[in-house]
Structure 1
Amino acid sequence: MDIPFLNLTQQQLLEKHLYPRITEEKKTYIVTANPEIVMKAKENEKYKGMVKQADFIIPDGTGIVMASKLIKQPIQERVAGFDLMTHLIGYAEDQQLSCFFLGASEEVSKKMVERLKTLHPYLHIAGRHHGFFELEDRTVIEEVLDSRPDLIFVALGSPRQEEWITKYFNEFDKGLFMGVGGSFDVIAGEVKRAPKLWVNLQLEWLYRTIKQPFRWKRILKVFEFMFRIILKKY
């Protein structure tokens, strides 16, 4: 489907690519792509262009890994966006780097930052801003630019987070940019992540659907993606 997925373990990605790029202040754009995002890119060329601008497109979805095996191009492992984000936050704390958190509601944003202060007391939080703004709003981008963050986590949901990152990426002279969907809600405690057993059984998607029934339309896209792979109608 014309999406060039990374085929590395999370540890390889961090140690061989992301940590060195952060140290060298080399701008980096990460897309955490699941079947829903792949289908959205298939249906919208403009969005596909935004996704393909990324330096790294990681397989954030069991369906992606399963599909890779079905087409005889196996991906080593699923790299969950939430796990990657938490590793990067821990690294930022250790290396005295700064993070900006953009997205979610004002209430969730506040709760998340307070939670991070507890989990990572030495983390330098450059700033935060809720996600309810127009993408063209210059006051938001100026606030992020002025804080000069090393890592920028954007939780606006797809496609808004990819739109925001690609729209303003060239205005920064450094920074790792990563779209993280609903991850702020998880850190804030508003949404529970699937228990370890569900994750190990590769049923995290089902757990999330049970807990958030409004997601059922999104799950249909996952099934469409898998049917296309099985029937070889890419």
Structure 2
Amino acid sequence: MNLSFKELFNIFLAKQPEANKDFLPDGTKYITFLNPFTLEKSLGANIDYNKFTFIASDGFFIKKLVWIFLKKRIIRYSFDFTSVATNVFAYMNRNKKTIFILGSTEESLTKFVSIYSIKYPDSKVVFYCNGFIDINDRFILNIINTIKPDVILIGMGARKQDEVAVRFINKKYLGVIYTCGGFIHQTSMNEIFYPSYINKYNLRFLYRIIKEPKVIKRILLFYPKFLFHFIFSFLKKDIE
């Protein structure tokens, strides 16, 4: 399923979460997050985004464009401790949910697991592995059928984490999946990556540029492409 911009963006709009409770790991649900960079990276990829329960807007840029052009209100959510992760992990801890964590480097992942295990001692990390291993069908089925985690957290970056999430879904995983981008790496450096004043004034993108200079390249290369695709699709009435 090689989605065009209008196809992917319309799926994105249709699958917006409406409240924090939509993210809680109750029942079976599959949740990912898109921003201009990750959306552009996913165009043409063989990822069936219809398989996701919710696709949240990770960033204010899309939120503002949707309001200005489409007159629709969407809420920004990110998987980090300033947004949905705090409530999700607290719920998991209260209900003794198990978690499998996949992503980042071995060093960052080990630090993250240590932080998580101390902060949420009743939510057991049943298995974890870095994001550079071979994710084949045997590996996926072993996680589903042998380890049987309640929650799968995937932090493998744009496109790749969504591909892997859909592969778990296709193999009939019946728990909860979250993709989380750079959350594992960021938390390993500092548990609260974004200071409160950064969140208050919506300066997350600027803060990330300072902390992670590679983000500048993403913005310069992908945000103009996204803006062009968005306006072009809007003028053609492909999105509404």
Return the TM-score normalized by structure 1: 0.83
Q: Deviations over 1:133-156 (max 9, x none)?
A: 123373465245421011100011
Is the Cα contact below 8 Å between 2:155 and 2:181 reproduced in 1?
yes
Q: Structure 2 matches for 1:72-151, cutoff 5 A? A: 72-82=70-80, 83-136=83-136, 138-139=138-139, 141-143=141-143, 145-151=145-151
Deviation at 1:81, TM superposition (A): 2.2
Tell me the SS of whatever aligns to 1:71.
Answer: helix
Is the Cα contact below 8 Å between 2:31 and 2:177 reproduced in 1?
yes
Shift of the 187–149 alpha-carbon distance from structure 1 to 2, 3 Å rule, reads: same
Take 1:59 and 1:113, find their aligned partners in 2: how far apart are those partners?
26
Is the Cα contact below 8 Å between 2:99 and 2:149 reproduced in 1?
yes
The residue type equivalent to 1:11 in the other structure is N
Equivalent residue for 1:183? 183
Equivalent residue for 2:20? 11
Take 1:136 and 1:183, find their aligned partners in 2: how far apart are those partners?
24
Tell me the SS of whatever aligns to 2:41.
Answer: helix
Take 2:208 and 2:186, find their aligned partners in 1: how far apart are those partners?
12
Deviation at 1:184, TM superposition (A): 0.6
Take 1:9 and 1:52, find their aligned partners in 2: how far apart are those partners?
17
Equivalent residue for 2:159? 159
The residue type equivalent to 1:204 in the other structure is R
Is the Cα contact below 8 Å between 1:96 and 1:124 reproduced in 2?
yes
Kindly, what percent of the aligned residue pairs are identical?
23
Shift of the 187–10 alpha-carbon distance from structure 1 to 2, 3 Å rule, reads: farther
Is the Cα contact below 8 Å between 1:145 and 1:172 reproduced in 2?
no
Take 1:108 and 1:71, find their aligned partners in 2: how far apart are those partners?
40
Shift of the 186–131 alpha-carbon distance from structure 1 to 2, 3 Å rule, reads: same
Deviation at 1:165, TM superposition (A): 1.4
Shift of the 36–52 alpha-carbon distance from structure 1 to 2, 3 Å rule, reads: farther
Is the Cα contact below 8 Å between 1:33 and 1:60 reproduced in 2?
yes
Is the Cα contact below 8 Å between 1:151 and 1:175 reproduced in 2?
yes
Is the Cα contact below 8 Å between 1:10 and 1:79 reproduced in 2?
no
Equivalent residue for 1:225? 226
Equivalent residue for 2:41? 40
Take 2:96 and 2:132, find their aligned partners in 1: how far apart are those partners?
29
Take 1:76 and 1:139, find their aligned partners in 2: how far apart are those partners?
36
Equivalent residue for 2:170? 170
Return the TM-score normalized by structure 2: 0.82
Deviation at 1:96, TM superposition (A): 1.1
Take 1:86 and 1:114, find their aligned partners in 2: how far apart are those partners?
16
Shift of the 13–140 alpha-carbon distance from structure 1 to 2, 3 Å rule, reads: closer
Is there any run of 5+ residues in structure 1 with no aligned partner, and where?
A: none
Q: Deviations over 1:28-48 (max 9, x none)?
A: 21111111122234x41x34x
Is the Cα contact below 8 Å between 2:30 and 2:54 reproduced in 1?
yes
